[in-house]
Structure 1
Amino acid sequence: MSFSVMSLNLRFGFAEDGPNNWVHRRCAYEPLLAEFPRDFYAFQEVNDFQATYLAHLLPDYCYIGQRPSAPERWQNNLLFYHKRWRCVHQEHFYLSATPDIPSRFEGSHWPRQCTMGIFDNDYCQTVLVNTHFDFDAEVQIRSARLIRERLRKHTAVGPIVIMGDFNSTPDSGCFAEFTTAKNDGCPTFCNAFSPPFIGTHHKFTGINGGAAIDWILYRGKLIVEHACVITRRFAERYPSDHYPVIAGFSCFSD
């Protein structure tokens, strides 16, 4: 059994980006999604009107992670999943000391969130996580620790994949929080990508020399079948100021 994922920071839909405003670049999403069909899409920085647009393009998918009654300019971290999968559990929480209410860690520039779901089909069950970290390095470490702790209760469920915009590179402290063994009984994560890492935040320039801040991490009985950063345009537009990152996994048993 195999499954595939994509992670992409859409770029805030109200941002004043001139020729790269959402209304000008949204045309890139239909060819992008058609060329790279996935079992799961993790989108960050999604305004409600962007969610509506994506749902129109993905009629065979459901999604979780949208906050009810949110102000118009608030953002969501959405997990779209193909209808051949069933979402049997979902969580939405804030990266803060009080994660179950809208809040943020001290030092965080913005309230940051995490969406988590358990999905199954007739062949396997997996946990998917979609998050967007703040800029502050210490806040990032605390956010990684919080996610690890929240995942502790799901260790026995099956393999876990974490995706998102981490605003930090694979040599950072928060990356080490996920990938370095701890004395907490939780398995460590692996990076779906191998060095040299391609920069994923290109600021609409198409340059590959930026920071590799968009990750796909995994643990459990998974083998990486492919992993790629998509660096080209669609409909003559970059979909975002971030590149989409994709991976495919196969599940195995002992």
Structure 2
Amino acid sequence: MRIRAATFNIRNSSAPDGDNAWPVRRDAAVAAIEHLDADVVGLQEVLPDQLEYLRWRFPRYEIVGVGRDDGMSAGEHSVVLVRPGDWKVEKHETRWLSDDPGTPGSVGWDADLPRIATLVWLRHRNGTTVGVANTHYDHAGEVAQLQSSRLIARWIAGALPWIVLGDLNATPDSAPLKALTAAGLRNVVPVEAGGSWHDFTGAEDDDRIDHILVTGGWRVADAAVSHLRPGGRLPSDHWPVVATLELD
């Protein structure tokens, strides 16, 4: 049984990015997602207008996730896209990375902004269920980043196989990543695959802050950072990260 999973911070549409603003690069962002050829994609920084566009461009996909500001439609979403095929959404929920994870808009610890994780339970056509968590850690709060890892680890503990996707705003050797690996998760993309954040420079060797981690039981068939520039256009200020995973 196989699943191809990806994570991609598409950069919010409200940012003053000039020649790299969302209306200029949205076709490239869609092409980059399509090129990943993934069954499930976790996207971060998705604002309502971007979500509307993605629903239009991916009409057959299941797209789940709520806004971080109000638990409905306001603010950034960490949505999960599921391609039609072997996998279907069984259920999903959004939790806030805070001491009060059920309260929409809650801010945790020293975080600058509300942060969320979208948890999705996927059922394979053979009846097997796996979990996918798509998240975006705070960019400023070091305590919040570490506590967010501890929350994620607690939420996915158990027998169910899980895949964690997201922009963790932390490098592989950082405390938040070490907290996840100490809890039994494995970072599947090798360091030599290159960086994932480039701030619209196109650099391929900057920091790796976008990650795919898995619990025990998963085998990694392949994993990479995609440095594709559709039509020569940078699709975001991050590169997507993708992995093909197998489960007995």
Amino acid at match of 1:98: D
How far has the Cα of 1:218 moved from its partner? 0.5
Alignment of 1:1-254 (within 5 A): 1-67=1-67, 69-71=72-74, 74-84=75-85, 85-101=87-103, 102-123=105-126, 124-135=128-139, 136-152=141-157, 155-157=158-160, 159-181=161-183, 188-196=184-192, 198-252=194-248
Deviations 1:187-228 (A, max 9, x none): x00111123351111011111221100000001321111111
Residue equivalent to 1:184: none
Structure 1: how far apart are the matches of 2:51 and 2:107? 23
Q: Provide TM-score, normalisation by structure 1.
A: 0.90
After TM superposition, the runs of 4+ consecutive aligned structure 1 residues lying more than 4 A away are: none
Amino acid at match of 1:11: R
For structure 2, the 5+ residue unaligned runs are none
Structure 2: how far apart are the matches of 1:207 and 1:35? 19
CA RMSD of aligned residues (A): 1.4
Structure 1: how far apart are the matches of 2:215 and 2:150? 16
Structure 2: how far apart are the matches of 1:168 and 1:36? 23
- Partner-residue secondary structure (3-state), 2:79: strand
Structure 2: how far apart are the matches of 1:36 and 1:193? 15
For structure 1, the 5+ residue unaligned runs are 182-187
How far has the Cα of 1:237 moved from its partner? 0.9
How far has the Cα of 1:60 moved from its partner? 2.2
Q: Provide TM-score, normalisation by structure 2.
A: 0.92
- Partner-residue secondary structure (3-state), 2:5: strand
Contact persistence 2:62–2:89 (CA under 8 A)? no
Amino acid at match of 2:11: R
Task: Pick which of 207-216 and 54-63 moved more.
Answer: 54-63
How far has the Cα of 1:37 moved from its partner? 1.9
Structure 2: how far apart are the matches of 1:204 and 1:221? 36
Amino acid at match of 2:115: R
Structure 1: how far apart are the matches of 2:8 and 2:223? 14
- Partner-residue secondary structure (3-state), 1:209: coil
Amino acid at match of 2:60: D
Contact persistence 1:31–1:235 (CA under 8 A)? no
How far has the Cα of 1:91 moved from its partner? 1.6
**Identity fraction in percent:** 30
- Partner-residue secondary structure (3-state), 1:76: coil
